[in-house]
Protein backbone atom coordinates (compact mmCIF):
# COMPACT_ATOMS: atom_id res chain seq x y z
CA UNK A 1 0.00 0.00 0.00
CA UNK A 2 2.93 2.36 0.63
CA UNK A 3 3.97 1.95 -3.02
CA UNK A 4 0.52 2.98 -4.19
CA UNK A 5 0.60 6.03 -1.92
CA UNK A 6 4.10 7.09 -3.03
CA UNK A 7 3.25 6.85 -6.73
CA UNK A 8 -0.06 8.62 -6.16
CA UNK A 9 1.74 11.46 -4.37
CA UNK A 10 4.39 11.65 -7.11
CA UNK A 11 1.74 12.17 -9.78
CA UNK A 12 0.21 15.02 -7.79
CA UNK A 13 3.59 16.70 -7.28
CA UNK A 14 4.31 16.53 -11.00
CA UNK A 15 1.00 18.20 -11.79
CA UNK A 16 1.16 21.03 -9.29
CA UNK A 17 4.81 21.80 -10.08
CA UNK A 18 4.02 22.31 -13.77
CA UNK A 19 2.09 25.57 -13.98
CA UNK A 20 2.28 25.60 -17.77
CA UNK A 21 0.62 22.18 -17.86
CA UNK A 22 -2.13 23.31 -15.49
CA UNK A 23 -2.88 26.44 -17.50
CA UNK A 24 -2.44 24.87 -20.94
CA UNK A 25 -4.85 22.02 -20.21
CA UNK A 26 -7.63 24.59 -19.68
CA UNK A 27 -7.37 26.00 -23.20
CA UNK A 28 -9.56 23.47 -24.98
CA UNK A 29 -12.36 23.45 -22.36
CA UNK A 30 -12.45 27.26 -22.44
CA UNK A 31 -12.81 27.24 -26.22
CA UNK A 32 -15.71 24.80 -26.03
CA UNK A 33 -17.44 26.75 -23.29
CA UNK A 34 -17.10 30.05 -25.16
CA UNK A 35 -17.49 29.00 -28.81
CA UNK A 36 -20.11 26.29 -28.35
CA UNK A 37 -21.80 27.52 -25.18
CA UNK A 38 -22.45 31.02 -26.43
CA UNK A 39 -22.20 30.41 -30.17
CA UNK A 40 -24.89 27.72 -30.29
CA UNK A 41 -26.83 28.98 -27.28
CA UNK A 42 -29.40 30.96 -29.28
CA UNK A 43 -30.02 28.12 -31.73
CA UNK A 44 -30.47 25.67 -28.86
CA UNK A 45 -32.94 27.92 -27.05
CA UNK A 46 -34.90 28.58 -30.25
CA UNK A 47 -35.31 24.83 -30.63
CA UNK A 48 -37.04 24.81 -27.26
CA UNK A 49 -34.20 23.07 -25.41
CA UNK A 50 -33.49 25.83 -22.91
CA UNK A 51 -30.05 27.14 -21.95
CA UNK A 52 -27.34 25.35 -23.94
CA UNK A 53 -24.61 26.22 -21.43
CA UNK A 54 -26.46 24.25 -18.75
CA UNK A 55 -26.49 21.27 -21.11
CA UNK A 56 -22.93 21.67 -22.42
CA UNK A 57 -21.00 22.32 -19.20
CA UNK A 58 -21.16 18.73 -17.82
CA UNK A 59 -19.89 17.45 -21.17
CA UNK A 60 -16.98 19.90 -21.14
CA UNK A 61 -16.13 18.89 -17.57
CA UNK A 62 -16.10 15.25 -18.67
CA UNK A 63 -13.92 16.21 -21.65
CA UNK A 64 -11.34 17.83 -19.40
CA UNK A 65 -11.21 14.73 -17.21
CA UNK A 66 -11.01 12.46 -20.25
CA UNK A 67 -8.06 14.24 -21.85
CA UNK A 68 -6.15 14.72 -18.61
CA UNK A 69 -6.67 11.10 -17.58
CA UNK A 70 -5.73 9.54 -20.90
CA UNK A 71 -2.69 11.73 -21.53
CA UNK A 72 -1.31 11.00 -18.07
CA UNK A 73 -0.28 7.67 -19.59
CA UNK A 74 2.40 9.41 -21.63
CA UNK A 75 4.42 9.76 -18.42
CA UNK A 76 5.06 6.00 -18.56
CA UNK A 77 6.83 6.42 -21.91
CA UNK A 78 8.74 9.39 -20.53
CA UNK A 79 9.81 7.42 -17.46
CA UNK A 80 10.80 4.49 -19.68
CA UNK A 81 13.10 6.67 -21.77
CA UNK A 82 14.78 8.30 -18.78
CA UNK A 83 15.19 5.13 -16.73
CA UNK A 84 12.83 5.90 -13.86
CA UNK A 85 10.39 3.18 -14.92
CA UNK A 86 13.13 0.55 -14.78
CA UNK A 87 14.03 1.60 -11.24
CA UNK A 88 10.37 1.33 -10.27
CA UNK A 89 9.82 -2.06 -11.88
CA UNK A 90 12.83 -3.71 -10.22
CA UNK A 91 11.54 -2.72 -6.79
CA UNK A 92 10.34 -5.71 -4.69
CA UNK A 93 6.66 -4.78 -4.97
CA UNK A 94 3.87 -6.20 -7.16
CA UNK A 95 3.60 -4.45 -10.49
CA UNK A 96 -0.15 -4.28 -9.97
CA UNK A 97 0.47 -1.93 -7.04
CA UNK A 98 2.65 0.24 -9.26
CA UNK A 99 -0.04 0.41 -11.90
CA UNK A 100 -2.78 1.19 -9.38
CA UNK A 101 -0.67 3.91 -7.77
CA UNK A 102 0.02 5.59 -11.09
CA UNK A 103 -3.61 5.26 -12.13
CA UNK A 104 -4.98 6.72 -8.90
CA UNK A 105 -2.47 9.56 -9.11
CA UNK A 106 -3.45 10.36 -12.68
CA UNK A 107 -7.15 10.02 -11.81
CA UNK A 108 -6.77 12.46 -8.92
CA UNK A 109 -5.08 14.96 -11.22
CA UNK A 110 -7.90 14.52 -13.75
CA UNK A 111 -10.48 15.02 -10.99
CA UNK A 112 -8.78 18.27 -9.92
CA UNK A 113 -8.80 19.37 -13.55
CA UNK A 114 -12.52 18.64 -13.75
CA UNK A 115 -13.18 20.71 -10.62
CA UNK A 116 -11.25 23.65 -12.08
CA UNK A 117 -13.34 23.47 -15.27
CA UNK A 118 -16.48 23.26 -13.14
CA UNK A 119 -15.53 26.55 -11.44
CA UNK A 120 -14.76 28.17 -14.80
CA UNK A 121 -18.14 27.08 -16.17
CA UNK A 122 -19.79 28.47 -13.06
CA UNK A 123 -18.10 31.79 -13.77
CA UNK A 124 -19.52 31.77 -17.31
CA UNK A 125 -23.07 31.32 -16.01
CA UNK A 126 -23.44 27.58 -15.43
CA UNK A 127 -25.88 27.12 -12.53
CA UNK A 128 -26.11 23.45 -11.56
CA UNK A 129 -28.20 21.87 -8.84
CA UNK A 130 -25.69 21.41 -6.03
CA UNK A 131 -27.76 18.99 -3.94
CA UNK A 132 -26.35 16.07 -5.89
CA UNK A 133 -22.78 17.41 -5.92
CA UNK A 134 -21.41 14.32 -4.08
CA UNK A 135 -22.94 12.17 -6.83
CA UNK A 136 -21.36 14.41 -9.47
CA UNK A 137 -17.97 14.00 -7.77
CA UNK A 138 -18.45 10.22 -7.83
CA UNK A 139 -19.12 10.30 -11.57
CA UNK A 140 -16.11 12.55 -12.14
CA UNK A 141 -13.90 10.17 -10.19
CA UNK A 142 -15.15 7.11 -12.10
CA UNK A 143 -14.55 8.84 -15.43
CA UNK A 144 -11.05 9.77 -14.27
CA UNK A 145 -10.20 6.23 -13.12
CA UNK A 146 -11.60 4.64 -16.27
CA UNK A 147 -9.68 6.75 -18.77
CA UNK A 148 -6.49 7.04 -16.74
CA UNK A 149 -6.41 3.24 -16.59
CA UNK A 150 -7.04 3.19 -20.34
CA UNK A 151 -4.17 5.59 -21.03
CA UNK A 152 -1.85 3.71 -18.68
CA UNK A 153 -2.68 0.36 -20.28
CA UNK A 154 -2.04 1.67 -23.78
CA UNK A 155 1.15 3.53 -22.87
CA UNK A 156 2.58 0.42 -21.22
CA UNK A 157 2.71 -1.18 -24.68
CA UNK A 158 4.30 1.77 -26.49
CA UNK A 159 7.91 2.87 -26.58
CA UNK A 160 7.75 5.75 -29.05
CA UNK A 161 6.90 9.12 -27.51
CA UNK A 162 5.67 10.50 -30.83
CA UNK A 163 3.18 7.72 -31.50
CA UNK A 164 1.24 8.14 -28.26
CA UNK A 165 -0.40 11.53 -29.04
CA UNK A 166 -1.33 10.32 -32.54
CA UNK A 167 -2.99 7.19 -31.23
CA UNK A 168 -4.68 9.08 -28.43
CA UNK A 169 -6.14 11.68 -30.81
CA UNK A 170 -7.39 8.90 -33.06
CA UNK A 171 -9.18 7.29 -30.11
CA UNK A 172 -9.99 10.14 -27.74
CA UNK A 173 -11.61 12.62 -30.12
CA UNK A 174 -14.23 10.10 -31.33
CA UNK A 175 -14.87 9.09 -27.71
CA UNK A 176 -15.63 12.70 -26.85
CA UNK A 177 -17.64 13.74 -29.91
CA UNK A 178 -19.72 10.53 -29.86
CA UNK A 179 -20.56 10.69 -26.16
CA UNK A 180 -23.46 13.13 -26.24
CA UNK A 181 -21.30 15.79 -24.61
CA UNK A 182 -22.29 18.45 -27.16
CA UNK A 183 -25.61 17.11 -28.49
CA UNK A 184 -28.64 15.34 -26.97
CA UNK A 185 -28.82 11.57 -27.29
CA UNK A 186 -32.55 11.54 -27.94
CA UNK A 187 -33.68 10.88 -31.49
CA UNK A 188 -30.33 9.90 -33.00
CA UNK A 189 -30.21 7.71 -36.15
CA UNK A 190 -29.83 3.97 -35.52
CA UNK A 191 -26.11 3.69 -36.24
CA UNK A 192 -25.27 6.82 -34.28
CA UNK A 193 -27.40 5.70 -31.35
CA UNK A 194 -25.61 2.35 -31.28
CA UNK A 195 -22.17 3.98 -31.24
CA UNK A 196 -23.08 6.33 -28.41
CA UNK A 197 -24.54 3.45 -26.44
CA UNK A 198 -21.29 1.47 -26.78
CA UNK A 199 -19.19 4.47 -25.80
CA UNK A 200 -18.39 4.31 -22.05
CA UNK A 201 -17.92 8.08 -21.87
CA UNK A 202 -21.60 8.49 -22.81
CA UNK A 203 -22.55 7.05 -19.43
CA UNK A 204 -20.13 9.34 -17.62
CA UNK A 205 -21.49 12.44 -19.36
CA UNK A 206 -25.08 11.31 -18.85
CA UNK A 207 -24.55 10.60 -15.15
CA UNK A 208 -22.68 13.85 -14.57
CA UNK A 209 -25.36 15.79 -16.41
CA UNK A 210 -28.10 14.13 -14.34
CA UNK A 211 -26.27 14.85 -11.08
CA UNK A 212 -25.88 18.53 -11.98
CA UNK A 213 -29.52 19.13 -12.78
CA UNK A 214 -30.41 17.70 -16.20
CA UNK A 215 -32.50 14.63 -16.98
CA UNK A 216 -30.67 11.31 -17.36
CA UNK A 217 -31.01 9.45 -20.67
CA UNK A 218 -29.78 6.00 -19.59
CA UNK A 219 -30.64 6.26 -15.89
CA UNK A 220 -28.27 7.04 -13.02
CA UNK A 221 -28.13 3.40 -11.90
CA UNK A 222 -27.14 2.25 -15.38
CA UNK A 223 -24.54 5.01 -15.64
CA UNK A 224 -22.93 4.01 -12.35
CA UNK A 225 -23.02 0.30 -13.21
CA UNK A 226 -21.44 0.69 -16.65
CA UNK A 227 -18.72 3.05 -15.41
CA UNK A 228 -17.94 0.81 -12.45
CA UNK A 229 -17.67 -2.34 -14.57
CA UNK A 230 -15.59 -0.62 -17.27
CA UNK A 231 -13.26 0.90 -14.67
CA UNK A 232 -12.68 -2.46 -13.01
CA UNK A 233 -12.10 -4.14 -16.38
CA UNK A 234 -9.59 -1.49 -17.51
CA UNK A 235 -7.74 -1.65 -14.20
CA UNK A 236 -7.47 -5.43 -14.54
CA UNK A 237 -6.37 -5.20 -18.18
CA UNK A 238 -3.92 -2.41 -17.40
CA UNK A 239 -2.46 -4.37 -14.51
CA UNK A 240 -1.95 -7.41 -16.75
CA UNK A 241 -0.37 -5.38 -19.57
CA UNK A 242 1.80 -3.46 -17.11
CA UNK A 243 3.09 -6.76 -15.71
CA UNK A 244 4.30 -7.69 -19.22
CA UNK A 245 6.59 -4.68 -19.62
CA UNK A 246 10.11 -5.79 -20.45
CA UNK A 247 12.97 -4.03 -18.69
pLDDT of residue 191: 86
Q: Which of 82, 223, 66 is nearest to 151 (CA)?
A: 66
pLDDT of residue 8: 58
Distance CA 159, CA 152 (A): 13
- Give alpha helix (H) positions in 27-132: 27-31, 37-39, 41-46, 52-71, 74-82, 84-89, 95-123
Distance CA 131, CA 155 (A): 38
Distance CA 166, CA 154 (A): 12
Q: What is the pLDDT of residues 19-64, one digit of tens each?
A: 555 666 677 888 888 877 777 766 766 655 667 888 888 999 999 9
Residue range 146-172: average pLDDT? 78
Q: How confident is the model at residue 221 (pLDDT cuts 50, 70, 90)?
A: very high
3-state secondary structure of 40: coil
Most trustworthy range by pLDDT among 40-44, 54-58, 113-117, 222-226? 222-226
Domain locations in the chain as residue ranges: 2-243
Q: What is the pLDDT of residues 84-95, one digit of tens each?
A: 666 666 666 677
pLDDT of residue 6: 64
Residue range 67-82: average pLDDT? 77
Distance CA 185, CA 113 (A): 25
Q: Is 187 exposed, middle or buried (0-12, 13-18, 19+ CB in 10 A)?
A: exposed
Report yes or no: 152 and 105 within 8 Å, Cβ to Cβ: no
E-strand stretches of the chain: none
Amino acid sequence: MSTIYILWLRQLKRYFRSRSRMIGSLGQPLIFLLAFGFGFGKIYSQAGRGDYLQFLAPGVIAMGILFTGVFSGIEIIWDRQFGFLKETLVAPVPRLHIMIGRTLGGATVALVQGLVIFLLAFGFGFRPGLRALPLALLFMFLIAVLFTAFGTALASQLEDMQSFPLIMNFLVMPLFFLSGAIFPLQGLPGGMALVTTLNPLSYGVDGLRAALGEVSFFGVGTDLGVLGICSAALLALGGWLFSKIQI
